[in-house]
Structure 1
Amino acid sequence: MARAGAFSANFDPVVLEEFRSFCMGRGERYTKVLEQLAIAYLKTKGELLSGASGVPVPSPSTSGKPQSTTNTTASDNQDLMRRVMRLEENDEFNAETFETIFKRLEEVEKKVETGRYLK
């Protein structure tokens, strides 16, 4: 079970990696950028993207070359949102798991006096 506020998704791997790299290059967390996009979309009642459907969106890695467009349906959009939510849930679950593991490892190092607790 995911924690409250988490979501996951299944992006096109190429798009996701380019988006992550782009955000990282700007010093931003891609999840926070997605959140801000969602907020802007809600504030504009979906008008943020009106007129954008069917317009080719250039990939950051292509030097302005338009990509081919495809028609998306409501079910495609729902599937995309479900996949985005699943990806985010997995990402946050992994972060929480690693945090727990590191805390437990630190406690073990304290008890056996190894690592940075070596006397």
Structure 2
Amino acid sequence: MDGPALSWSERRKLNEIENDLRADRELERELTGMRLSARRQTAYALDALRRIPAVAQSLLVVTSVGLLAAAVRLRPSGALVLFGLVWAVTLAVLAAHAAHRWHRRHPREREP
């Protein structure tokens, strides 16, 4: 340590914090394996999705409509599969964006 030694009360508080962190089994499991839980991975993925700009979202919608038109007109299975994939991504992006806006407008009260 570079600074001065901790006082007795600082050491006691640090010990309490460390004990509280050790009691969190999910955190301990994640840190031990350096792996995120499925819930946190989902949260990070949704966070990344909602950061996609509006231009990209618009392009996804236009691409989905174009692929749907091609699939209906030409009936190739490849176009239909591509439409399904692009449409699923489009819906996920739009849902994440809508959820982000809703959470921003309706913040939960955090416990102290």
| Greater share of helix | 2
**What is the TM-score when the length of structure 2 is the normalising length?**
0.30
**What is the TM-score when the length of structure 1 is the normalising length?**
0.28
Which one has more relative contact order, counting CA pairs under 8 Å at least 6 apart?
1
